[in-house]
């Protein structure tokens, strides 16, 4: 049994995942960065303090075998925390090219896979409490036309959080979820672009319409979520 400050971060190649990695690296954590774009993962690693202390590994969380291989490749003995951040966004429509399965498989099933394969490593860590943080979304609680898969996947993550928090409490593993609203990431700007095209308005007008529902009238920054 070992106590380490090793943290596994999925979706670490960009956006919130990268910001989380940068935040944790400043606080003496050893990071394992997972993602599907190795170039982006390398950029994240190079941006970290004490970059040589961290490692990045290609991993598609839709595949349990990929996760198993990544954990084995990392050569870690235990984990202090898992940040289950990986996810995809965008619309889906019931048709022959519906993205429902892609979004559910990544956001919900992929997160479930990652947690289940990480739990044995978390159990081996002797810290008083180990941590799992799941990145859900405000859309777990709000509905948006055309985003049925995304909303369902993010709502599913809250159910998963509640179930696992109860299930893993006996192992001193704390399970919590964050539900960010608009965050200044590529995914958010892609959503605004689709919004503007659907309504035949400019992207700036789409941005202003979106921010009208945000009390502060602005997007959060990735590093604010990381904190």
SS3 at position 196 = helix
Characterize the bridge pairing of strands 173-178 and 130-135: parallel
Both structure tokens of 85: 């951040």
Q: Is 147 a catalytic residue?
A: no
Q: Say if CB 121 and CB 110 are below 8 A apart.
A: no
Burial grade of 50 (CB within 10 A; 0-12, 13-18, 19 or more) = exposed
Q: Which of 29, 112, 147, 150 is catalytic?
A: 150
How far apart, in whole angstroms, are the C-alpha atoms of residue 220 and residue 141?
A: 18
Largest CA distance in the chain: 59
Strands (E), the chain: 6-10, 30-35, 55-58, 81-84, 130-135, 173-178
- HSE at residue 33, side-chain half, CA atoms within 13 A, is 32
DSSP per residue over 92-140, as a string?
--SSTT--HHHHHIIIIIHHHHHHHHHHHHHHTB-SS-EEEEEE--GGG
DSSP code at position 185? S
- Catalytic machinery residues: 150
């Amino acid at each position: 049994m070992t106590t380490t400050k090793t943290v596994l971060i999925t979706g670490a190649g960009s956006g919130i995942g990268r910001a989380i990695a940068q935040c944790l690296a400043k606080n003496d954590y050893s990071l394992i960065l997972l993602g599907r774009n190795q170039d982006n993962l390398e950029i994240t690693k190079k941006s970290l303090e004490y970059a040589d202390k961290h490692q990045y590994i290609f991993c598609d969380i839709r595949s349990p075998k990929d996760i198993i291989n990544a954990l084995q490749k990392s050569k870690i003995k235990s984990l202090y925390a898992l940040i289950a951040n990986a996810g995809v966004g965008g619309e889906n429509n019931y048709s022959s090219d519906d993205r429902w399965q892609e979004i559910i498989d990544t956001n919900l099933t992929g997160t479930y896979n990652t947690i289940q394969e990480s739990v044995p490593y978390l159990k081996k860590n002797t810290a008083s409490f180990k941590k799992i943080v799941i990145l859900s979304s405000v859309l777990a609680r709000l509905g948006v036309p055309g985003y049925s898969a995304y909303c369902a996947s993010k709502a599913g993550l809250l159910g998963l959080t509640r179930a696992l928090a109860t299930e893993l409490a006996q192992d001193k593993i704390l399970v919590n979820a964050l539900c960010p609203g608009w965050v200044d990431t590529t995914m958010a700007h892609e959503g605004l672009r689709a919004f503007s095209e659907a309504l035949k308005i400019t992207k700036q007008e789409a941005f202003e319409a979106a921010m009208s529902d945000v009390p502060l009238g602005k997007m959060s920054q990735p590093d604010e979520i990381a904190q």
